[in-house]
Protein backbone atom coordinates (compact mmCIF):
# COMPACT_ATOMS: atom_id res chain seq x y z
CA UNK A 1 0.00 0.00 0.00
CA UNK A 2 1.41 3.42 -0.98
CA UNK A 3 2.15 6.19 1.50
CA UNK A 4 -0.28 8.45 -0.37
CA UNK A 5 -3.19 6.06 0.13
CA UNK A 6 -2.41 5.93 3.87
CA UNK A 7 -2.57 9.70 4.46
CA UNK A 8 -5.32 10.41 6.99
CA UNK A 9 -6.21 6.70 7.00
CA UNK A 10 -6.96 7.03 10.71
CA UNK A 11 -9.71 9.58 9.95
CA UNK A 12 -11.34 8.19 6.81
CA UNK A 13 -14.24 7.71 6.44
CA UNK A 14 -15.60 10.46 8.68
CA UNK A 15 -19.28 11.41 8.73
CA UNK A 16 -20.82 14.54 10.24
CA UNK A 17 -22.19 12.54 13.17
CA UNK A 18 -18.84 10.81 13.61
CA UNK A 19 -17.01 14.15 13.61
CA UNK A 20 -19.33 15.53 16.29
CA UNK A 21 -18.91 12.42 18.43
CA UNK A 22 -15.11 12.49 18.08
CA UNK A 23 -14.98 16.25 18.77
CA UNK A 24 -16.74 15.71 22.10
CA UNK A 25 -14.42 12.77 22.81
CA UNK A 26 -11.41 14.95 21.98
CA UNK A 27 -12.48 17.60 24.50
CA UNK A 28 -12.93 14.94 27.18
CA UNK A 29 -9.59 13.37 26.26
CA UNK A 30 -7.81 16.74 26.57
CA UNK A 31 -9.34 17.36 29.99
CA UNK A 32 -8.00 14.04 31.24
CA UNK A 33 -4.64 13.98 29.48
CA UNK A 34 -3.27 17.52 29.78
CA UNK A 35 -2.48 17.02 33.49
CA UNK A 36 -0.78 13.74 32.63
CA UNK A 37 1.31 15.40 29.92
CA UNK A 38 2.56 17.88 32.48
CA UNK A 39 3.25 15.02 34.87
CA UNK A 40 5.30 13.08 32.33
CA UNK A 41 7.82 15.93 32.23
CA UNK A 42 8.70 15.06 35.83
CA UNK A 43 9.80 11.66 34.53
CA UNK A 44 11.49 13.10 31.44
CA UNK A 45 13.38 15.78 33.38
CA UNK A 46 12.25 18.47 30.95
CA UNK A 47 10.38 21.77 31.44
CA UNK A 48 6.64 21.31 32.01
CA UNK A 49 5.68 23.03 28.76
CA UNK A 50 7.43 20.30 26.73
CA UNK A 51 4.75 17.85 27.81
CA UNK A 52 2.18 20.03 26.04
CA UNK A 53 4.43 20.20 22.98
CA UNK A 54 4.25 16.39 22.62
CA UNK A 55 0.49 16.63 21.99
CA UNK A 56 0.79 19.29 19.30
CA UNK A 57 2.83 18.62 16.15
CA UNK A 58 3.67 14.96 17.00
CA UNK A 59 0.01 14.10 17.48
CA UNK A 60 -0.85 15.87 14.22
CA UNK A 61 1.84 13.96 12.31
CA UNK A 62 0.54 10.59 13.47
CA UNK A 63 -3.00 11.56 12.54
CA UNK A 64 -1.73 12.32 9.02
CA UNK A 65 0.47 9.27 8.41
CA UNK A 66 -0.71 6.55 10.83
CA UNK A 67 -3.42 3.98 10.08
CA UNK A 68 -4.77 3.28 13.57
CA UNK A 69 -8.03 5.08 14.28
CA UNK A 70 -7.53 4.79 18.04
CA UNK A 71 -3.83 5.06 18.98
CA UNK A 72 -3.00 8.23 20.94
CA UNK A 73 0.61 9.26 20.27
CA UNK A 74 2.11 11.70 22.75
CA UNK A 75 4.31 11.69 25.87
CA UNK A 76 4.57 8.27 27.50
CA UNK A 77 5.99 7.23 30.85
CA UNK A 78 7.98 4.23 29.59
CA UNK A 79 9.96 6.06 26.89
CA UNK A 80 10.35 9.17 29.09
CA UNK A 81 11.91 7.02 31.79
CA UNK A 82 14.22 5.36 29.27
CA UNK A 83 15.81 8.50 27.84
CA UNK A 84 15.94 10.37 31.15
CA UNK A 85 17.79 7.42 32.66
CA UNK A 86 20.11 7.20 29.66
CA UNK A 87 20.91 10.93 29.68
CA UNK A 88 21.33 11.29 33.43
CA UNK A 89 25.12 11.15 33.25
CA UNK A 90 25.50 13.41 30.20
CA UNK A 91 23.88 16.67 31.32
CA UNK A 92 21.85 18.26 34.10
CA UNK A 93 18.14 17.88 33.56
CA UNK A 94 16.23 20.74 31.91
CA UNK A 95 19.34 22.74 30.92
CA UNK A 96 20.17 23.64 27.33
CA UNK A 97 22.45 20.70 26.62
CA UNK A 98 20.02 18.23 28.15
CA UNK A 99 17.18 19.49 25.95
CA UNK A 100 19.41 19.25 22.87
CA UNK A 101 20.24 15.65 23.80
CA UNK A 102 16.53 14.92 24.35
CA UNK A 103 15.75 16.30 20.89
CA UNK A 104 18.51 14.25 19.28
CA UNK A 105 17.21 11.05 20.95
CA UNK A 106 13.79 11.78 19.40
CA UNK A 107 15.39 12.43 16.00
CA UNK A 108 17.46 9.22 16.14
CA UNK A 109 14.36 7.30 17.21
CA UNK A 110 12.48 8.78 14.25
CA UNK A 111 15.29 7.66 11.91
CA UNK A 112 15.22 4.11 13.31
CA UNK A 113 11.45 3.99 12.90
CA UNK A 114 11.76 5.23 9.32
CA UNK A 115 14.25 2.45 8.57
CA UNK A 116 11.84 -0.02 10.17
CA UNK A 117 9.09 1.25 7.88
CA UNK A 118 11.28 1.07 4.76
CA UNK A 119 12.28 -2.52 5.52
CA UNK A 120 8.81 -3.42 6.87
CA UNK A 121 10.13 -4.46 10.25
CA UNK A 122 6.83 -4.28 12.07
CA UNK A 123 7.20 -7.97 12.86
CA UNK A 124 9.89 -7.06 15.44
CA UNK A 125 7.07 -6.44 17.88
CA UNK A 126 6.41 -10.17 17.91
CA UNK A 127 9.74 -10.83 19.63
CA UNK A 128 8.42 -9.39 22.88
CA UNK A 129 6.07 -11.91 24.41
CA UNK A 130 3.06 -10.66 26.31
CA UNK A 131 4.48 -12.20 29.48
CA UNK A 132 7.72 -10.24 29.52
CA UNK A 133 5.96 -7.08 28.31
CA UNK A 134 3.70 -7.28 31.37
CA UNK A 135 6.82 -7.75 33.49
CA UNK A 136 8.57 -4.84 31.79
CA UNK A 137 5.69 -2.44 32.34
CA UNK A 138 5.42 -3.61 35.95
CA UNK A 139 9.09 -2.72 36.44
CA UNK A 140 8.56 0.66 34.78
CA UNK A 141 5.63 1.31 37.10
CA UNK A 142 7.69 0.45 40.16
CA UNK A 143 10.62 2.55 39.01
CA UNK A 144 8.50 5.62 38.23
CA UNK A 145 6.43 5.25 41.40
CA UNK A 146 9.57 5.17 43.55
CA UNK A 147 11.05 8.11 41.63
CA UNK A 148 7.97 10.21 42.48
CA UNK A 149 8.21 9.56 46.25
CA UNK A 150 10.79 12.32 46.68
CA UNK A 151 8.60 15.07 45.27
CA UNK A 152 5.52 13.64 46.96
CA UNK A 153 7.24 13.94 50.32
CA UNK A 154 9.29 17.10 49.72
CA UNK A 155 12.60 15.22 50.02
CA UNK A 156 15.39 16.22 47.65
CA UNK A 157 16.48 13.09 45.76
CA UNK A 158 19.44 13.43 43.41
CA UNK A 159 20.05 9.75 42.61
CA UNK A 160 18.89 8.22 39.33
CA UNK A 161 19.05 4.52 40.24
CA UNK A 162 16.04 3.09 42.02
CA UNK A 163 18.09 1.45 44.78
CA UNK A 164 19.99 4.69 45.40
CA UNK A 165 16.74 6.64 45.46
CA UNK A 166 15.32 4.31 48.11
CA UNK A 167 18.49 4.70 50.18
CA UNK A 168 18.29 8.51 49.98
CA UNK A 169 14.61 8.47 50.91
CA UNK A 170 15.24 6.16 53.86
CA UNK A 171 18.08 8.36 55.10
CA UNK A 172 16.07 11.58 54.88
CA UNK A 173 12.76 10.60 56.45
CA UNK A 174 13.24 13.27 59.09
CA UNK A 175 13.26 15.90 56.31
CA UNK A 176 9.76 15.06 55.04
CA UNK A 177 7.77 18.21 54.30
CA UNK A 178 4.42 17.41 55.90
CA UNK A 179 2.32 19.94 53.91
CA UNK A 180 3.79 18.59 50.65
CA UNK A 181 3.14 15.00 51.71
CA UNK A 182 -0.41 15.88 52.74
CA UNK A 183 -1.13 17.44 49.33
CA UNK A 184 0.29 14.39 47.53
CA UNK A 185 -1.68 11.89 49.59
CA UNK A 186 -4.83 13.93 49.13
CA UNK A 187 -4.35 13.96 45.34
CA UNK A 188 -3.66 10.21 45.16
CA UNK A 189 -6.66 9.40 47.35
CA UNK A 190 -8.88 11.79 45.42
CA UNK A 191 -7.96 10.21 42.06
CA UNK A 192 -8.23 6.61 43.23
CA UNK A 193 -11.56 7.03 45.02
CA UNK A 194 -13.31 9.01 42.31
CA UNK A 195 -11.82 6.87 39.53
CA UNK A 196 -13.40 3.83 41.17
CA UNK A 197 -16.87 5.35 41.51
CA UNK A 198 -16.87 7.82 38.59
CA UNK A 199 -14.30 6.47 36.11
CA UNK A 200 -15.36 8.69 33.18
CA UNK A 201 -14.87 11.99 34.99
CA UNK A 202 -11.59 13.88 34.28
CA UNK A 203 -10.39 13.47 37.86
CA UNK A 204 -6.72 14.46 37.17
CA UNK A 205 -7.98 17.72 35.65
CA UNK A 206 -10.05 18.44 38.74
CA UNK A 207 -6.98 17.73 40.87
CA UNK A 208 -4.89 20.15 38.81
CA UNK A 209 -7.50 22.92 38.86
CA UNK A 210 -8.06 22.51 42.59
CA UNK A 211 -4.30 22.49 43.21
CA UNK A 212 -3.80 25.66 41.17
CA UNK A 213 -6.64 27.48 42.95
CA UNK A 214 -5.50 26.42 46.42
CA UNK A 215 -1.87 27.27 45.66
CA UNK A 216 -2.82 30.74 44.45
CA UNK A 217 -5.21 31.43 47.32
CA UNK A 218 -3.05 30.13 50.16
CA UNK A 219 0.44 30.86 48.77
CA UNK A 220 1.70 27.27 48.73
CA UNK A 221 5.14 28.41 47.56
CA UNK A 222 5.44 30.63 50.64
CA UNK A 223 4.69 27.65 52.88
CA UNK A 224 7.44 25.44 51.44
CA UNK A 225 5.32 23.57 48.89
CA UNK A 226 7.21 23.66 45.59
CA UNK A 227 5.32 24.81 42.49
CA UNK A 228 6.08 24.51 38.78
CA UNK A 229 6.86 28.17 38.32
CA UNK A 230 6.59 30.26 35.14
CA UNK A 231 5.72 28.34 31.95
CA UNK A 232 6.47 30.05 28.64
CA UNK A 233 3.37 30.40 26.52
CA UNK A 234 3.04 30.48 22.76
CA UNK A 235 3.99 28.06 20.05
CA UNK A 236 7.15 25.93 20.28
CA UNK A 237 10.25 27.18 18.52
CA UNK A 238 11.26 25.01 15.59
CA UNK A 239 14.92 24.06 15.34
CA UNK A 240 17.41 21.23 14.83
CA UNK A 241 18.95 19.87 18.07
CA UNK A 242 22.59 20.99 18.26
CA UNK A 243 24.52 17.94 19.48
CA UNK A 244 28.14 16.97 18.82
CA UNK A 245 28.96 13.88 16.79
CA UNK A 246 30.47 12.11 19.81
CA UNK A 247 27.36 12.72 21.90
CA UNK A 248 25.16 11.58 19.01
CA UNK A 249 26.96 8.23 18.93
CA UNK A 250 26.47 7.86 22.69
CA UNK A 251 22.75 8.43 22.22
CA UNK A 252 22.23 5.58 19.76
CA UNK A 253 21.74 2.88 22.47
CA UNK A 254 19.19 5.13 24.20
CA UNK A 255 17.33 5.66 20.91
CA UNK A 256 17.43 1.92 20.22
CA UNK A 257 15.82 1.26 23.59
CA UNK A 258 13.07 3.80 22.84
CA UNK A 259 12.64 2.27 19.39
CA UNK A 260 12.10 -1.23 20.80
CA UNK A 261 9.49 -0.07 23.31
CA UNK A 262 7.68 2.07 20.73
CA UNK A 263 7.51 -0.81 18.24
CA UNK A 264 6.29 -3.29 20.85
CA UNK A 265 3.96 -1.09 22.87
CA UNK A 266 2.38 0.81 19.98
CA UNK A 267 1.83 -2.32 17.91
CA UNK A 268 0.27 -4.18 20.82
CA UNK A 269 -2.02 -1.25 21.66
CA UNK A 270 -3.08 -0.73 18.03
CA UNK A 271 -3.87 -4.42 17.63
CA UNK A 272 -6.01 -4.57 20.75
CA UNK A 273 -8.30 -1.72 19.69
CA UNK A 274 -8.39 -2.70 16.01
CA UNK A 275 -9.58 -6.17 16.99
CA UNK A 276 -12.08 -4.74 19.50
CA UNK A 277 -13.69 -2.58 16.82
CA UNK A 278 -13.26 -5.07 13.92
CA UNK A 279 -11.03 -2.74 11.94
CA UNK A 280 -8.18 -3.22 9.53
CA UNK A 281 -4.69 -2.18 10.68
CA UNK A 282 -1.50 -1.48 8.74
CA UNK A 283 1.33 -1.78 11.29
CA UNK A 284 3.94 -0.48 8.86
CA UNK A 285 1.87 2.65 8.22
CA UNK A 286 1.69 3.17 11.97
CA UNK A 287 5.49 2.91 12.14
CA UNK A 288 5.73 5.69 9.53
CA UNK A 289 3.31 7.78 11.59
CA UNK A 290 5.37 7.19 14.73
CA UNK A 291 8.53 8.18 12.84
CA UNK A 292 6.94 11.42 11.64
CA UNK A 293 5.64 12.13 15.14
CA UNK A 294 9.09 11.72 16.71
CA UNK A 295 10.72 13.85 14.01
CA UNK A 296 8.17 16.57 14.77
CA UNK A 297 8.90 16.20 18.49
CA UNK A 298 12.64 16.59 17.89
CA UNK A 299 12.19 19.75 15.82
CA UNK A 300 9.61 21.41 18.09
CA UNK A 301 11.37 21.21 21.45
CA UNK A 302 9.50 18.14 22.71
CA UNK A 303 10.76 14.65 23.56
CA UNK A 304 10.23 11.06 22.39
CA UNK A 305 6.56 10.19 21.86
CA UNK A 306 4.93 6.78 21.85
CA UNK A 307 1.59 5.11 21.37
CA UNK A 308 0.26 5.19 24.92
CA UNK A 309 -1.96 2.29 26.05
CA UNK A 310 -3.37 4.29 28.97
CA UNK A 311 -4.22 7.37 26.88
CA UNK A 312 -5.60 5.20 24.08
CA UNK A 313 -7.82 3.39 26.57
CA UNK A 314 -9.00 6.76 27.90
CA UNK A 315 -9.84 7.92 24.37
CA UNK A 316 -11.79 4.76 23.70
CA UNK A 317 -13.68 5.05 26.98
CA UNK A 318 -14.97 8.55 26.11
CA UNK A 319 -16.16 7.49 22.64
CA UNK A 320 -13.24 8.27 20.32
CA UNK A 321 -13.50 6.30 17.09
CA UNK A 322 -11.02 8.08 14.82
CA UNK A 323 -7.96 10.32 14.85
CA UNK A 324 -10.28 13.34 14.56
CA UNK A 325 -10.65 13.28 18.34
CA UNK A 326 -6.85 13.42 18.63
CA UNK A 327 -6.83 16.49 16.35
CA UNK A 328 -9.37 18.15 18.64
CA UNK A 329 -7.12 17.20 21.57
CA UNK A 330 -4.22 18.95 19.83
CA UNK A 331 -6.42 22.01 19.25
CA UNK A 332 -7.20 22.25 22.97
CA UNK A 333 -3.49 21.99 23.78
CA UNK A 334 -2.84 24.82 21.32
CA UNK A 335 -5.37 27.04 23.13
CA UNK A 336 -3.74 26.23 26.47
CA UNK A 337 -0.32 27.19 25.10
CA UNK A 338 -1.63 30.46 23.70
CA UNK A 339 -3.94 31.56 26.51
CA UNK A 340 -3.73 29.55 29.73
CA UNK A 341 -0.09 28.89 30.70
CA UNK A 342 -0.06 31.67 33.33
CA UNK A 343 -2.28 29.78 35.85
CA UNK A 344 -0.15 26.65 35.47
CA UNK A 345 2.82 28.27 37.22
CA UNK A 346 0.96 27.94 40.55
CA UNK A 347 0.51 24.18 40.14
CA UNK A 348 2.24 22.34 43.04
CA UNK A 349 4.85 19.82 41.94
CA UNK A 350 3.46 17.41 44.53
CA UNK A 351 0.13 17.42 42.67
CA UNK A 352 1.87 16.36 39.45
CA UNK A 353 3.95 13.82 41.37
CA UNK A 354 0.76 12.36 42.84
CA UNK A 355 -0.85 12.12 39.39
CA UNK A 356 2.24 10.42 37.95
CA UNK A 357 2.38 8.07 40.94
CA UNK A 358 -1.16 6.90 40.17
CA UNK A 359 -0.22 6.49 36.48
CA UNK A 360 2.83 4.43 37.51
CA UNK A 361 0.78 2.14 39.73
CA UNK A 362 -1.65 1.75 36.83
CA UNK A 363 1.18 0.30 34.72
CA UNK A 364 1.34 -2.67 37.11
CA UNK A 365 -1.17 -5.09 35.59
CA UNK A 366 -2.08 -7.08 38.69
CA UNK A 367 -4.80 -9.01 36.87
CA UNK A 368 -2.46 -10.18 34.10
CA UNK A 369 0.22 -11.11 36.64
CA UNK A 370 -2.34 -13.16 38.56
CA UNK A 371 -3.51 -14.85 35.35
CA UNK A 372 0.07 -15.66 34.34
CA UNK A 373 0.84 -17.07 37.78
CA UNK A 374 -2.27 -19.24 37.72
CA UNK A 375 -1.67 -20.57 34.20
CA UNK A 376 2.12 -20.85 34.06
CA UNK A 377 4.47 -20.59 37.05
CA UNK A 378 7.49 -20.54 34.73
CA UNK A 379 6.23 -17.58 32.73
CA UNK A 380 5.26 -15.80 35.93
CA UNK A 381 8.88 -16.05 37.09
CA UNK A 382 9.99 -14.58 33.74
CA UNK A 383 7.66 -11.62 34.28
CA UNK A 384 8.90 -11.08 37.84
CA UNK A 385 12.58 -11.31 36.84
CA UNK A 386 11.99 -8.80 34.05
CA UNK A 387 10.15 -6.43 36.41
CA UNK A 388 12.89 -6.68 39.04
CA UNK A 389 15.61 -6.02 36.44
CA UNK A 390 13.83 -2.94 35.10
CA UNK A 391 13.10 -1.55 38.56
CA UNK A 392 16.41 -2.31 40.27
CA UNK A 393 18.99 -2.39 37.47
CA UNK A 394 17.73 -0.22 34.63
CA UNK A 395 15.23 0.16 31.83
CA UNK A 396 17.62 -0.56 28.99
CA UNK A 397 18.84 -3.74 30.71
CA UNK A 398 15.23 -4.68 31.30
CA UNK A 399 14.40 -4.28 27.62
CA UNK A 400 17.36 -6.43 26.58
CA UNK A 401 16.41 -9.05 29.15
CA UNK A 402 12.79 -8.98 27.98
CA UNK A 403 13.79 -9.60 24.36
CA UNK A 404 16.33 -12.26 25.36
CA UNK A 405 13.85 -14.09 27.60
CA UNK A 406 11.21 -14.00 24.87
CA UNK A 407 13.61 -15.54 22.36
CA UNK A 408 14.99 -18.07 24.84
CA UNK A 409 11.48 -19.15 25.76
CA UNK A 410 10.75 -19.82 22.09
CA UNK A 411 14.06 -21.59 21.54
CA UNK A 412 13.50 -23.71 24.66
CA UNK A 413 10.17 -24.98 23.32
CA UNK A 414 11.85 -25.89 20.03
CA UNK A 415 14.92 -27.36 21.73
CA UNK A 416 12.86 -29.59 24.03
CA UNK A 417 9.50 -29.93 22.27
CA UNK A 418 6.54 -31.94 23.45
CA UNK A 419 6.96 -35.56 22.36
CA UNK A 420 4.77 -38.60 22.91
CA UNK A 421 3.98 -42.17 21.90
CA UNK A 422 0.52 -43.33 20.88
CA UNK A 423 -0.56 -46.07 23.27
CA UNK A 424 -3.88 -47.94 23.74
CA UNK A 425 -6.08 -47.39 26.81
CA UNK A 426 -8.53 -49.88 28.36
CA UNK A 427 -11.17 -49.22 25.67
CA UNK A 428 -8.76 -49.70 22.76
CA UNK A 429 -8.35 -46.04 21.90
CA UNK A 430 -4.85 -44.82 21.12
CA UNK A 431 -3.87 -41.81 23.22
CA UNK A 432 -0.58 -39.87 23.53
CA UNK A 433 1.63 -41.00 26.42
CA UNK A 434 4.97 -39.58 27.63
CA UNK A 435 8.10 -41.03 26.06
CA UNK A 436 9.69 -43.55 28.42
CA UNK A 437 11.57 -46.84 28.32
CA UNK A 438 9.21 -49.78 27.69
CA UNK A 439 6.42 -47.76 26.02
CA UNK A 440 5.08 -49.05 22.69
CA UNK A 441 1.97 -48.56 20.60
CA UNK A 442 1.37 -52.26 20.07
CA UNK A 443 3.66 -55.27 19.70
CA UNK A 444 6.14 -54.50 16.93
CA UNK A 445 4.94 -50.92 16.38
CA UNK A 446 5.94 -47.55 17.87
CA UNK A 447 4.12 -44.38 16.77
CA UNK A 448 6.27 -41.44 17.88
CA UNK A 449 5.16 -37.79 17.80
CA UNK A 450 7.73 -34.98 17.68
CA UNK A 451 6.29 -31.52 18.38
CA UNK A 452 8.63 -29.15 16.53
CA UNK A 453 10.70 -28.57 13.41
CA UNK A 454 13.80 -30.77 13.31
CA UNK A 455 16.99 -28.73 13.47
CA UNK A 456 20.53 -28.88 14.80
CA UNK A 457 19.61 -28.10 18.43
CA UNK A 458 16.97 -30.79 18.87
CA UNK A 459 18.22 -33.53 16.53
CA UNK A 460 19.93 -35.19 19.51
CA UNK A 461 16.68 -35.25 21.47
CA UNK A 462 14.87 -36.80 18.50
CA UNK A 463 17.45 -39.54 17.90
CA UNK A 464 17.95 -40.29 21.60
CA UNK A 465 14.23 -40.77 22.24
CA UNK A 466 13.80 -42.96 19.15
CA UNK A 467 16.68 -45.20 20.26
CA UNK A 468 15.31 -45.29 23.83
CA UNK A 469 11.94 -46.51 22.57
CA UNK A 470 13.47 -49.14 20.28
CA UNK A 471 16.10 -50.45 22.69
CA UNK A 472 13.66 -50.86 25.59
CA UNK A 473 10.52 -51.95 23.74
CA UNK A 474 8.75 -54.96 25.36
CA UNK A 475 8.72 -56.71 21.96
CA UNK A 476 11.13 -56.31 19.01
CA UNK A 477 10.15 -53.24 16.98
CA UNK A 478 9.33 -53.91 13.32
CA UNK A 479 7.74 -50.58 12.46
CA UNK A 480 8.66 -47.05 13.62
CA UNK A 481 6.08 -44.49 12.51
CA UNK A 482 7.00 -40.82 12.93
CA UNK A 483 4.02 -38.49 13.28
CA UNK A 484 5.52 -35.41 11.56
CA UNK A 485 2.46 -33.17 11.85
CA UNK A 486 4.42 -30.49 13.74
CA UNK A 487 7.43 -30.62 11.41
CA UNK A 488 7.57 -28.09 8.59
CA UNK A 489 11.33 -27.74 8.25
CA UNK A 490 14.51 -29.78 8.53
CA UNK A 491 18.00 -28.30 8.36
CA UNK A 492 21.20 -29.90 7.04
CA UNK A 493 22.54 -31.03 10.42
CA UNK A 494 19.27 -32.68 11.44
CA UNK A 495 18.96 -34.34 8.04
CA UNK A 496 22.41 -35.92 8.39
CA UNK A 497 21.50 -37.30 11.82
CA UNK A 498 18.21 -38.61 10.48
CA UNK A 499 19.95 -40.37 7.58
CA UNK A 500 22.35 -42.04 10.01
CA UNK A 501 19.37 -43.10 12.14
CA UNK A 502 17.63 -44.51 9.06
CA UNK A 503 20.68 -46.60 8.22
CA UNK A 504 20.87 -47.92 11.81
CA UNK A 505 17.18 -48.86 11.71
CA UNK A 506 17.60 -50.65 8.38
CA UNK A 507 20.47 -52.72 9.79
CA UNK A 508 18.12 -53.72 12.63
CA UNK A 509 15.37 -54.62 10.11
CA UNK A 510 13.12 -51.85 11.39
CA UNK A 511 10.96 -50.12 8.79
CA UNK A 512 10.79 -46.33 9.19
CA UNK A 513 7.60 -44.59 8.05
CA UNK A 514 6.57 -40.92 8.16
CA UNK A 515 2.96 -39.76 8.49
CA UNK A 516 1.36 -36.30 8.17
CA UNK A 517 4.24 -35.01 6.03
CA UNK A 518 3.60 -31.50 4.69
CA UNK A 519 4.67 -30.36 1.25
CA UNK A 520 7.42 -28.22 2.82
CA UNK A 521 8.84 -31.11 4.82
CA UNK A 522 8.63 -33.41 1.79
CA UNK A 523 10.73 -30.92 -0.20
CA UNK A 524 13.34 -30.89 2.58
CA UNK A 525 13.38 -34.69 2.70
CA UNK A 526 13.90 -34.83 -1.06
CA UNK A 527 16.65 -32.18 -0.98
CA UNK A 528 18.51 -33.87 1.88
CA UNK A 529 18.12 -37.33 0.23
CA UNK A 530 16.03 -38.74 3.09
CA UNK A 531 13.40 -39.92 0.60
CA UNK A 532 15.98 -41.99 -1.27
CA UNK A 533 17.02 -43.75 1.92
CA UNK A 534 13.60 -44.75 3.25
CA UNK A 535 11.68 -44.82 -0.06
CA UNK A 536 8.78 -42.76 -1.40
CA UNK A 537 6.32 -45.45 -0.33
CA UNK A 538 7.23 -44.75 3.33
CA UNK A 539 6.18 -41.10 3.29
CA UNK A 540 2.46 -40.28 3.69
CA UNK A 541 0.44 -37.09 3.79
CA UNK A 542 -1.94 -38.35 6.48
CA UNK A 543 -1.50 -40.39 9.64
CA UNK A 544 -4.31 -42.79 8.66
CA UNK A 545 -2.53 -43.72 5.43
CA UNK A 546 0.69 -44.34 7.35
CA UNK A 547 -1.15 -46.47 9.93
CA UNK A 548 -2.73 -48.54 7.19
CA UNK A 549 0.73 -49.19 5.78
CA UNK A 550 2.07 -50.53 9.09
CA UNK A 551 -0.79 -52.87 9.96
CA UNK A 552 -4.10 -51.16 10.51
CA UNK A 553 -5.62 -48.23 12.28
CA UNK A 554 -6.69 -48.08 15.90
CA UNK A 555 -10.35 -47.57 16.71
CA UNK A 556 -9.78 -43.91 17.62
CA UNK A 557 -6.62 -41.84 17.41
CA UNK A 558 -6.43 -38.66 19.52
Check residue 554 and give its pLDDT. Answer: 55
Looking at the fold, whether 227 and 271 belong to one and the same domain comes out as yes
pLDDT for res 305: 95
Both 428 and 346 in one domain: the answer is: no
Q: Dump the DSSP string for 50-91.
A: HHHHTTSHHHHHHHHH---SS--EE--HHHHHHHHHHHTTTS
Backbone angles phi, psi at 174, to 5 degrees: -70, -15
Q: Are residues 456 and 359 in the same domain?
A: no
Same domain, 447 and 401: no
In a domain, 555, yes or no: no
Identify whether residues 192 and 135 lie together within a single domain. yes
In a domain, residue 498? The reply is: yes
Same-domain check for residues 57 and 150: yes
Identify the domain boundary among 357, 384, 410: 410
- Tell me, yes or no, whether 227 and 138 share the same domain: yes
| Whether 343 and 225 share a structural domain | yes
Q: Which residues contact 377 (CB under 8 A, 6 or more apart)?
A: none
| pLDDT number for residue 556 | 44
Asked if residue 7 is part of any domain, the answer here is no
Return the pLDDT at 552. Answer: 57
CB atoms within 10 A of CB 427: 8
Q: Which residues have a Cβ under 8 Å from the Cβ of 76 and sit 6 or more positions away?
A: 40, 265, 304, 305, 306, 307, 308, 311
Per-residue pLDDT, 558:
45
Residues 315 and 172 reside in one and the same domain: yes
The 8-class DSSP code of residue 306 comes to E
**Alpha carbon distance 540, 454 (integer Å):** 18
The pLDDT assigned to 557 comes to 47
How many residues can be counted in the chain?
558
> CA-to-CA distance for 235 and 127, rounded, in angstroms?
39
φ, ψ for residue 510, nearest 5 deg: -110, 125
What is the pLDDT at residue 127? 66
Q: What is the pLDDT of residue 92?
A: 85
Last residue of a domain, one of 410, 441, 469: 410
Q: Domain boundary at 389, 410, 431, which? A: 410
Task: Kindly report whether the peptide bond that precedes residue 38 is cis, defined as omega within 30 degrees of 0.
Answer: no
Domain extent, residue 39, equals 15-410
25, 126, 329 from 322: Cα distances, Å: 10, 25, 12
Question: What is d(CA 513, CA 510) in angstroms, rounded to the nearest whole number?
Answer: 10
CA–CA separation, 342 and 330 (whole Å): 19
Cα(536)–Cα(94) distance, rounded to whole angstroms?
A: 72
Number of H helices, E strands in the chain: 24, 7
Residue 541 within any structural domain of the chain: yes
Note down pLDDT in tens along the chain; length 558 residues: 455 556 777 777 777 887 888 898 888 788 777 877 887 888 898 998 999 999 999 999 999 998 888 899 999 887 888 888 888 788 888 788 999 999 999 999 999 999 999 988 766 666 667 787 788 778 878 888 888 898 899 888 877 778 888 899 988 888 899 999 999 999 999 888 987 888 777 778 788 889 999 999 999 988 889 888 888 888 999 999 999 999 999 999 999 989 988 887 787 778 767 777 777 777 888 999 999 999 999 999 999 999 887 788 778 877 788 899 999 999 999 999 998 888 888 888 888 888 888 878 887 888 889 998 998 888 888 889 888 988 888 766 776 777 787 777 777 778 888 899 998 877 777 789 999 999 999 899 999 999 999 999 899 999 999 999 999 999 999 999 999 999 989 999 999 999 999 999 999 999 999 999 999 999 999 999 999 999 999 999 998 899 888 875 554 444
Radius of gyration of the CA atoms of the chain, in A: 30
Residue at 293 is within a domain: yes
Does residue 466 share a domain with residue 389? no
Query: What is the C-alpha to C-alpha distance for residues 81 and 44, in angstroms, rounded to an integer?
Result: 6
Let me know whether 205 and 341 are in one domain.
yes
Quick check: pTM over 0.75? Answer: no
Half-sphere exposure of 258 (CA within 13 A, CB side): 38
Question: Is 469 part of a structural domain of the chain?
Answer: yes
Say if residues 353 and 184 touch (Cβ distance below 8 Å).
Answer: yes
CATH assignment at residue 505: 3.30.750.24
**CA nearest to 151, candidates 308, 305, 45, 304:** 45
Compute the Cα dihedral for 546, 551, 554, 558 and give only its sign.
negative
* Residue at 556 is within a domain: no
Assigned domain for 5 exists = no
Q: How many domains is the chain built from?
A: 2
Are residue 377 and residue 432 in the same domain, yes or no?
no
Amino acid sequence: MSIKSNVFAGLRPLSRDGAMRDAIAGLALASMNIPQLLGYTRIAGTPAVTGLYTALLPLLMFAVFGSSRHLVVAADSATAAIFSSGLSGMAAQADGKYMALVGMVALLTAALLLLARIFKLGFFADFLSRTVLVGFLTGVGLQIGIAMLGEMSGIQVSAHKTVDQLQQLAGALAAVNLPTLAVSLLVVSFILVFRHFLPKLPIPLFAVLTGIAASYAYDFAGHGIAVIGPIPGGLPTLGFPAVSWDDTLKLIPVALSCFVIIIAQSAATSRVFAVRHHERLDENADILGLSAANAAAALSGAFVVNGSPTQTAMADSVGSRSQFSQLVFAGVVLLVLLLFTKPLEYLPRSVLAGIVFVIAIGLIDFKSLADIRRESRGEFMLAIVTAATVALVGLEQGILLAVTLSLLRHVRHSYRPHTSVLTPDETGRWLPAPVAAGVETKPGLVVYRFGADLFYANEGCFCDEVRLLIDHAPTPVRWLLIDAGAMTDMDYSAARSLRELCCDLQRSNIKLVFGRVSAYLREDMNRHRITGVIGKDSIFSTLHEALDAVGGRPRVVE
